[in-house]
Amino acid sequence: MFVIVGLGNPGSKYARQRHNIGYVVADTIAARYGLSAPRRRFQGRALSGEIDGERVLLLKPETFMNESGRAVRSALNFHKLRARDAIVIHDELDLAPGKVLIRKGGGHAGHNGLRSLHSQIGPDYRRIRVGIGHPGDKHRVHRHVLGDFAAAERPLFAKLAEAIAESLPLALAGDDPGFMTRVALLCPRPKPPKPQPTQGAGNAG
């Protein structure tokens, strides 16, 4: 059995924020695999069912991001599971928008949700890191993370959530490279715009 966790903050005012991409992906997973109706359990919203023959509990903590670890610890303890049985989906500043990586362990890199998880269950859970891009200036990070997705970004992240959901059985089977390859094929990252030539370039001399 796996506990799949989508990190985010509860409430409509947070729903479109980049920090809530974990919630977005969790909702997409629930819809794709026909999981149970959500119930208030483990200090969050919990859904259950099977994905590709694997029993799963899908959890959206409602403790707010900074206390996410309490909800996850409660779910793991109830089901007598360990950190390695959890897969946590979260936003990642240090990845370009649309890039997805999965890994086990590592640091929290200042992410408050991961910081809480580290303190409550340790670092040995797996995490699906969903790139939201860096604003380029550390003073703009807070506003970027807690800002709503721009209208132009929304189709990309909706498609990315679908790709993660479709590829999830590979992650549950332990095929992390296969999972990442499948996501990249289903949702290729947009190419950066080509630099425009400087007006009048080539006329000097």
Residue 148 DSSP symbol: B
Catalytic residue, from 19, 90, 111, 118: name it: 19
- 22, two tokens: 């974990």
Task: Indicate if 19 belongs to the active site.
Answer: yes
What DSSP line would sit under 104-146, residue for residue? ES---TT-HHHHHHHHHH-S-SEEEEEE----SSGGGHHHHHT
The terminus-to-terminus CA distance of the chain in angstroms comes to 71
Q: Which helix (H) or strand (E) holds 101?
A: strand 100-104
- 181, two tokens: 């390859």
Residue 148's identity, in one-letter code, is D
Catalytic residue list:
19
